[in-house]
Structure 1
């Protein structure tokens, strides 16, 4: 194999790894003379189309990424040879050893090195998860982390490699469920085919537990699916132990939700972390009558009609009467008022009438927001009549959750999907606590962070 020329461009130096249907090669680019890594997927008797789908997704993902801690995409090839056909992904070569290799050789990591390593990897995850759509690695483990150029006071340059299991938000809701990852480092939700940014935090937490205990997570006992490692890490500061427990919470709702939050909480004291851990959930306000249904297939929010304030009916009657009088009364009723003032009063009463009508319609309307694997729909039901506005749009278009606070203490939540905005808030009679609860539920299900904005004035959006 050594010396073989692939696609007339790459000279094979040696085999780095091999398994059924695929291999990884170290090669030299004949044009640049730089070393590269070539991953090959063969079309043989063991070939499965799902493997090619993941292989192509890895290539497309790497092509769109640019980070010093991630190998760079160079080329994607179809290689036809007399005895085989294969697809090849070419990427930059990273010189170094994996964490797995370091640990097998007996290397140990101090607490400061573990924290440094955690921060460097979290910085890479922040970059990945902030892509639009977010990129989820799904297979973070010691053998997929490389260290290079270690110095006396630093762990060296850190690289995250092997994006063969990568998932982006656009690919998340395909027609089939694919379980990928490595036992011991896979978050529980991944066994059901679901992956969110917090799933990568679980894999990182399991990796760091391996570093501080010297044991694979599967070799450690579990209680209620929680990895029991604290008794083997008594040399660590309690802060770091609590943080690792938080990273590897089996419950997605209780786990750290983002790489940014994990990074910021790493240096907090144990009391602060415990305080946050004891209050991880935002629950439905007891007075709320909103119905929320959530499972792995869909999330649905039903907002029932509001209670009618009968003072609105009085305002409606007054507005109608005033508008009629002003239009037909003429000089008999308003002889001392000039036409300009009369017209202004007609417009004012008309505006009041329109506002009251809209409010009454909102009071009788049921609103249903549903997001499934394929689309988001926003359905209104008024006295048996149903309509969808804004129109339904592909689930893949959802890119942002935002809570807007206006200076008059009015709150609205916006779901941004492409150029469309789906709004929940004052017009549905929702309180601040209800909006916060719904935003939190959507954030956890979609794997999106919540953007919070303080806005001057108020723009009414009537849906």
Structure 2
């Protein structure tokens, strides 16, 4: 391949990369006497039309862009040779090493380096997002970022390359789902074939997390799709850690939405709430599930607690009065029953189950309460022996206006979520302790994105 001349103009110097059905070459332009990069796509047995669609989109996108930190479109060729057929995209050559190569060679990046990189890349993304329609790179990662003239005091000139996964806001893939990107740097929405400008912010945030931790994002643990890295970079400014967390927030509604917003947030960090997050109280059986799409709290049956036993004791006279009243209204004579014997047994069971004392027992031993908030609504339901009914009517998620801990009495409180005209309460009626109430209020506050108040 070395020395081969393509289109009677480009003399191949060496191969830069190769994948199935495609390769990237470094070539010498015999007309301009400059080095160029040639990306080739071959029409082989493994060829897919979607590959050609992305290849042509890359060419069209580069042709429309004019930015010093992005390779410039030069030429588009059809390859029609006896041993190969396909297409080739010619673009300017950028000299330098990728971030991936720097990391593999053992280079470390200081906090100042990270901020310089963030500033340069956000400026590039800002340019792309200002296009009409906005351009989304969709594969922002260390191997697609080049550094030129890098020194110990400066990261040098930063370039964003490889627009092979590019998409604009109107270039959707019809009824099909096209998942492109690299695992670890792909925002969660990209796994569903959806990409927005904030998807590139996620890739940038994950890239910078790689720089400060030295670990690929997939090597770091996750909690509810959130990359857990803060414990590994305690030497970093807390405001930078907070900013990186906002860049890689799994939920689009919580992630920084544009390059301009991300740059403003980096220059003017928000106040950090240093209130520690309480852990689930020891011995608590509450099941809490949080993802980027929903939060769900399942409170198990409270069992026969001391307070409940006191309530049962108080209910005994009421229960006795209930049976006495019932049998006085229906003075059944069991030796002259007009109905079948088994019907009597069923009737007796129904009467027994309807007594206040039995209802209290059933609720204490078998009732579960499930509170769920997702992107559409908030709901609270009771579950008892296969039966299910609403604790309160469901309400739209956007109607949630505030969250509070209400003190009912000394050392007795409850969590209240106000949504429109509905109030959702979790507290002593569900057998919650004070520590469980504080823990749930904090978790709900974090997921909803606003603080709770104490009244």
Any conservation in 2 of the 1:97–1:146 contact (CA below 8 Å)?
A: yes
Residues in 1 aligned to 2:256 and 2:170: alpha-carbon distance in whole angstroms: 23
Q: Which residue pairs with 2:35 in the alignment? A: 35
- Could you say what secondary structure the match of 1:171 adopts? coil
CA offsets 1:369-422 (integer angstroms, 9 cap, x no match):
xxxxxxxxxxxxxxxxxxxxxxxxxxxxxxxxxxxxxxxxxxxxxxxxxxxxxx
Q: Which residue pairs with 1:7 in the alignment? A: 7
CA offsets 1:432-460 (integer angstroms, 9 cap, x no match):
xxxxxxxxxxxxxxxxxxxxxxxxxxxxx
Q: Does 1:176 align with 2:207?
A: no
Structure 1 residue 170: Cα displacement: 1.5
Q: Which residue pairs with 1:161 in the alignment? A: 161
Task: From the superposition, tell whether residues 76 and 241 of structure 1 become closer, same or farther in structure 2 (CA, over 3 Å).
Answer: same
Q: Which residue pairs with 2:110 in the alignment? A: 110
Residues in 2 aligned to 1:273 and 1:2: alpha-carbon distance in whole angstroms: 59
Residues in 2 aligned to 1:151 and 1:192: alpha-carbon distance in whole angstroms: 40
Q: Which residue pairs with 2:363 in the alignment? A: none
Q: RMSD over aligned Cα, in angstroms?
A: 1.9
Q: Which residue pairs with 2:197 in the alignment? A: 197
Q: Which residue pairs with 2:228 in the alignment? A: 228
State the TM-score, normalizing by the size of structure 1. Answer: 0.59
Residues in 1 aligned to 2:269 and 2:69: alpha-carbon distance in whole angstroms: 29
CA offsets 1:207-260 (integer angstroms, 9 cap, x no match):
000000000000000001100000111110000000000000000100001100
CA offsets 1:90-146 (integer angstroms, 9 cap, x no match):
000000000000000000000001001001000000000110000000000000000
- Could you say what secondary structure the match of 2:267 adopts? coil
Q: Which residue pairs with 2:18 in the alignment? A: 18
Structure 1 residue 87: Cα displacement: 0.2
Task: From the superposition, tell whether residues 68 and 271 of structure 1 become closer, same or farther in structure 2 (CA, over 3 Å).
Answer: same
Any conservation in 2 of the 1:40–1:86 contact (CA below 8 Å)?
A: yes
- Could you say what secondary structure the match of 2:158 adopts? strand
Any conservation in 2 of the 1:243–1:273 contact (CA below 8 Å)?
A: no
Residues in 2 aligned to 1:96 and 1:52: alpha-carbon distance in whole angstroms: 28
Residues in 2 aligned to 1:68 and 1:183: alpha-carbon distance in whole angstroms: 28
Any conservation in 2 of the 1:26–1:37 contact (CA below 8 Å)?
A: yes
Residues in 2 aligned to 1:269 and 1:62: alpha-carbon distance in whole angstroms: 34
Structure 1 residue 173: Cα displacement: 5.5
- Could you say what secondary structure the match of 2:170 adopts? helix
Residues in 2 aligned to 1:96 and 1:256: alpha-carbon distance in whole angstroms: 30
Aligned ranges 1:278-297 → 2 under 5 Å: none
- Could you say what secondary structure the match of 1:170 adopts? coil
CA offsets 1:127-175 (integer angstroms, 9 cap, x no match):
0011000000000000000000113431100000000000001102523
Aligned ranges 1:380-419 → 2 under 5 Å: none
Q: Which residue pairs with 1:149 in the alignment? A: 149
Q: Does 1:50 align with 2:39?
A: no
- Could you say what secondary structure the match of 1:51 adopts? helix
Q: Size of the alignment, in residue pairs?
A: 279
Runs of 4+ in 1 over 6 A off after TM superposition: 272-275
Any conservation in 1 of the 2:239–2:272 contact (CA below 8 Å)?
A: no
Any conservation in 2 of the 1:239–1:268 contact (CA below 8 Å)?
A: no
Residues in 1 aligned to 2:262 and 2:239: alpha-carbon distance in whole angstroms: 13
Unaligned runs of 5+ in 1: 276-293, 296-463
Task: From the superposition, tell whether residues 195 and 11 of structure 1 become closer, same or farther in structure 2 (CA, over 3 Å).
Answer: same
Any conservation in 1 of the 2:138–2:180 contact (CA below 8 Å)?
A: yes
Structure 1 residue 273: Cα displacement: 9.0
- Could you say what secondary structure the match of 1:245 adopts? helix
Residues in 2 aligned to 1:269 and 1:26: alpha-carbon distance in whole angstroms: 43
Unaligned runs of 5+ in 2: 276-374, 377-455
Any conservation in 2 of the 1:265–1:273 contact (CA below 8 Å)?
A: no
Residues in 1 aligned to 2:43 and 2:26: alpha-carbon distance in whole angstroms: 21
Structure 1 residue 274: Cα displacement: 9.1
Aligned ranges 1:298-447 → 2 under 5 Å: none
Aligned ranges 1:198-217 → 2 under 5 Å: 198-217=198-217
